[in-house]
Structure 1
């Protein structure tokens, strides 16, 4: 019944005369598939006499509209200071979204409107992960592209947070980034997705971000030259993912004894070499617990910890 899968095979092994064996095939589709019925062929051939057979099956994919939004973020600001959080919105369905005004709404909802924090949502027009003067304020997916967001495509959104000048040390504020599909597209509905950002007032203003990139061949060594994203990545067993964790001092004073901590994800192994790579400082790993000792960070300075993991077979 394929409830428990074994190792991937390319050979059936010996099958005695008059007997049979059962095999399980795992079929995956990309988010860009537009067909609902996909034909698939299975073949088998004897390595001894070349006798074989072929059967044709079909995979039926349900029609759907779906969004994914990554990730919840958190950071620190000084009284009167600002922080910017990066989010990635992906069209994980099968239809183009945002081709009409009001079809997909983008908005922010402060969880405590009386705390004095202000929030603004921007579209990362040049996709560089930074808030630039050319990045427009958005409230509708249509304003990010006149042709809409195609299946499998993604955009980056930036949430700018400003703390009131009167904010006290330790004050926390939360805001939700909410993507709201309205009505039907091609007769299909979609669910609301949201992220929550947490901002804490601290004179020593540190901001931590984590991004990743797939490395299917597990052969990347120059980690700093890769292009990272906050979007989820899909990899298969024996393929790799490279992570980048960056800490930035957005405050006005130097911060000492900065430490980055993370864990090797379950069912994966740290790829060594290259192991842990730091742009500044040193790093260690013990029983999957990763600790990066950055040291001191001057105002507006950042440091990154890189590591690659292989998905266990």
Structure 2
């Protein structure tokens, strides 16, 4: 290994030995210098004896009959020289050296590079042509050993990569769009490319001869190594202390745009420079990187209230789009003097900037609440609230709404509007809901189910048993029966603890009478097994009967049809930096990934059979030491029927109740971030 500092002149020695009994008339050695080395034109290329003595300068350029050399400079750049030396008149077993000098150039401190040469030899007057090769007069080109060259001294790189300390090649750190008055954040990295710990200064530079378009007048900047960044100014500086050799430090550049901006087609740039803090006048140890904003767009403010799930590009979300709706998106039943809870309200910020929304419940007639009704919104921390809190562009906030009913209310339906309005921009949306008031008590069991099952497999059906009264109902018997029990069909009843309609390890079998509190719902799952010898097209009807102490009987039926359809599933993946656009190209082969980065998965289920498949469900889980990354519109599904994925802890699933027709496919796409 060779250690050198910037500006050192080092000697390159290429030792050779002719092996064998016959001599050679020509030896050609070529050394393409690594980019850290410059060929020294002031020193000769020499041919020396084995011990380095008795040296003789070669002639330049290579003559026809004497030892010589030539230097090739790609595009005239001496910093990437290729040195080619030719020796003639070799004797058998001759040993010797080829020597020349090179200089270590700037900008590679702390890095290790390698140098190797390639060579070939010929007998007689061979010239390495194709004819010479066929005659056997020249041997094939071979390579020498690789010599490592380590450059010592201070050095610095600033770029947009958390993995590579290479100098910026002109590619700026880029953000695609921002809104007037908004704040964006560029992520840069300062690398210590030297051999000792160093302190650096990071600062913004004014517009340079590169003729880049600066950010609009009134823009303020903040530099920080942490997520906290509050000291905005026009020309901030940042001290990066104690950065070890070979390590990097994340630099956050936050840019606060003025409220009024004139759009420019070429985009906006700011130049960051990192330099040694100990010697700011030393122009040699410094580096720059461009940060670019492609465009500034004046995004309008808008909000969308939905029920059941957030917008996330799903056209079937109840309440999506401008309200109020002509029909309620959700109807709840309640008794006078009690309360009902709308437990899946979502406030979606569909605008282009962060916003906040006041919440209100009003009568559909536009007036305030009827006498005796009360309304209370509840946030995810189970705390009463009248405001959504700050909601970033493209994101959402879940809420609950508890409506108290007057004790003197009579039977009937009441329609209401759930209102979200921005006190800043005035953006507003209304969601229509209905409350049906009835003094009657009773149980409701729903719905009937239908699906397809393969021989020797099983299918599950989800049901809800609801107590619409205010009083608990005890000793309810739940009974299952199968129409084809004599042919081996069986069914088992489970309590669906999380109510997601999917059978999981936490769900428990029900083998005894149950009780159901007033205004509560019991989620049930019926698991139906088909025998292995079940015939194609045969149907089994499973009946679930609920029997009360007073003799009340409720029933639902589940019809399972035997089908030999073939569903295959393929899992693919793609690397993601968690910031840019979500990848659209996936692959099944492995790739490296580092902590802090993301991986996007796509699971595709395709029906390759000739019959339709019902109730298709795709399950997966976040790998160990990762967590789901719900950004960029993920998780999501694709296909003719777009559904909302369900995430629970480290598990994710999506269910398509309408199933798949022959040849159709659906996909579940989600992202995880590596811890």
TM-score using structure 1 length: 0.46
Q: Larger Cα Rg: Structure 1 or Structure 2?
A: 2
Q: Which fold has the larger relative contact order, with Cα–Cα distance below 8 Å and residues 6 or more apart in sequence?
A: 1
TM-score using structure 2 length: 0.23
